[in-house]
Structure 1
Amino acid sequence: MSRWDGKTRGSLTGYKIFLFFIRHLGLGFAYTLLRIVTYYYYLFASGPRNILIQFYQNSFHFSKEKARKLARRNFYIFGQTLVDRAAFLLGKVDTFSHTFENEQYLVDIRNAGKGGILLSAHVGNWETAGNLLKGRITPTINIVMLDAEVESIKKFMQLSTGGPKFNVIPIKNDLSHIISIRNALISNEFVAIHADRYLDGAKFIEMEFLGKTARFPMGPFIIASKFDAPVTFVFATKDGTHSYHLSATEPITVRLKPEQIARQYVQELERKVRQYPEQWFNYYDFFNNG
């Protein structure tokens, strides 16, 4: 798969099975089952596996053996983040702990009263960040995302768990999501946007990333530059069986051009990926978007 198509993978049966085990047998059992499931995917999902191995070899210059081990660990940790997401929605919040690097930056953004734009990426577990931030720093987190999940899975998760603990602002062709973002910022709410996946046909900006040229979506950086709200880069990475490390960068409080914000963002993203290479969850050829 050379391009991202905007869709989330996963089967309704798989969601049902893991929700059942988490609810009745606990996270430990779900993690054990996960080792079998993710090893199966590692063996037979050759496309994502090979792309991930090539990413580790070409970007980090790892040996093929080390790249394979890291790819297998990547599949397992990704599975854990999905299980953790379901556990959060089932109310098992007390099972998890977290540290927050530079939490005061988000407190300062809230106190400024202009709302805040949080740019993130598919590194670690962004939904966990939304669940942890809600009620801790701000009562409302809005996540801007493509509304392309399989409808039956969305309905089942909604009925089974009550749905996510944050608001979703779906990206629309009529640009109505821009109005929703504006209204959220006016209400002094946080708006989180992924800025790492370029969807074919959308505007993009080319930046150097891990020594190669990659395309990043222009939209998030245009939004960050147009609104009078502080901008920060946030990540939530798994740093233990039941623990997460959240981080935020010093807010950008002056108007910058989209290209300037993109440059700072890509530098921070590269730093995070080097720190947590096993939590790079982009399973397509990130450098082949042409």
Structure 2
Amino acid sequence: MSQSPDRPGIDTKSEKSAWDGKTKGTLAGYKIFFFFIRFLGLGFAYSLLRIVTYYYYLFASKPRNVLMDFYQHTLHFSHSEAKKLARKNFYIFGQTLVDRTAFLLGKHEKFSHVFENEQYLIDIREQGKGGILLSAHLGNWETAGNLLKGRITPTINIVMLDAEVENIKKFMEMATGGSRFKIIAIKDDLSHVIAIRNALINNEFVAIHADRYMEGARFIELDFLGKKARFPHGPFVIASKFDAPITFVFAAKDRTHSYHLSATAPIQEKMKPEQIAALYAAELEKKVKQYPEQWFNYFDFFKQ
């Protein structure tokens, strides 16, 4: 593995990643669940999900096998336990998509939540410098943002790759009015950095996923769950450059219509990207062990 001489563990020449930055799904699938949620309710949509996700469990061999390998050889569950977790994973992932649509349809009163260490985010807000929230593809980040918005901050910015299928985006905007967040799209001209700066100046929260890297992008290699894993360099560089508190936030589904939100004590002092990344990976480890069925990375996370 080649490494940058001044940044140990960082490589700019990665092999092909199984993640391509695109949201999977079909327009027909969105339309079907939109109809059921609006006219027949969440309960019916969840019941339909059992059939749909079991079908995917049977025939979507690639993500199923990746999950089985992760559960057996990384988290060390038995084969039978791994099978149960994989099936549960597919079902809960489907629920998070349904919940996302339910919020867009204004059905937020159906959901409840507990917030572990909510005061940390209130303290960040009171400092007046904005806040950087690093999260992961574990649980349901968008529902977390819906639960936070208006309670702690009026504006949450989501930094993301704008790679969703265009016709699905158009349908969601037409049917529901689109996302309830401000989206900061990552672009080659680095205009997203200016948008992040402006959001922080306005004392807004900026949320970034920090657990996936794209082919050809820089990464930081870290110890994670007893193996070496690659994390994207960009989110940690952004977190280290701005004079804003940093916290790691997660939102896991703990009951049918309930979420458990959590935040870590804010990082106030200046740190190098590698230091922030190491703290993040350690916290993510805890959450994966606590909620293994909500690990939604359907590719070989440890591919070298």
- 1:230 Cα deviation from its structure 2 partner: 0.2
Partner of 1:94, secondary structure, is helix
AA of the residue aligned to 2:91: Y
AA of the residue aligned to 1:70: L
In 1, Cα distance between the equivalents of 2:76 and 2:289? Answer: 12
- Alignment match of 1:197 (pick from 187, 212, 215): 212
- Alignment match of 2:168 (pick from 138, 141, 153): 153
Extract structure 1 runs of 4+ deviating beyond 6 A.
none
- 1:2 Cα deviation from its structure 2 partner: 5.6
AA of the residue aligned to 2:261: L
Which residue in 2 is equivalent to 1:68?
83
Partner of 1:199, secondary structure, is coil
Aligned counterparts, 1:170-185, within 5 A: 170-185=185-200
Whether the 8 Å CA contact 2:17–2:214 is kept in 1: the answer is: no
Partner of 2:47, secondary structure, is helix
Partner of 2:262, secondary structure, is strand
Which residue in 1 is equivalent to 2:106?
91
In 1, Cα distance between the equivalents of 2:109 and 2:179? Answer: 17
Aligned length: 289
Which residue in 2 is equivalent to 1:241?
256
Partner of 1:87, secondary structure, is helix
Which residue in 1 is equivalent to 2:65?
50
| Percent identity of paired positions between Structure 1 and Structure 2 | 77
- 1:60 Cα deviation from its structure 2 partner: 1.2
In 2, Cα distance between the equivalents of 1:129 and 1:112? Answer: 22
Partner of 2:284, secondary structure, is helix
* TM-align CA RMSD: 0.8
Write out per-residue CA displacement over residues 111-136 of structure 1, whole angstroms, 9 at most, x where no aligned residue.
Answer: 00000000000000000111111111
Give me the TM-score of the superposition, normalised by structure 1: 0.99
Which residue in 2 is equivalent to 1:140?
155
Give ranges in structure 2 of 5+ residues lacking alignment.
1-15
In 2, Cα distance between the equivalents of 1:105 and 1:90? Answer: 30
- 1:25 Cα deviation from its structure 2 partner: 0.4
AA of the residue aligned to 2:149: K
Which residue in 2 is equivalent to 1:81?
96
In 1, Cα distance between the equivalents of 2:113 and 2:85? Answer: 24
Which residue in 1 is equivalent to 2:280?
265
In 1, Cα distance between the equivalents of 2:276 and 2:58? Answer: 39
Give ranges in structure 1 of 5+ residues lacking alignment.
none
Partner of 1:214, secondary structure, is strand
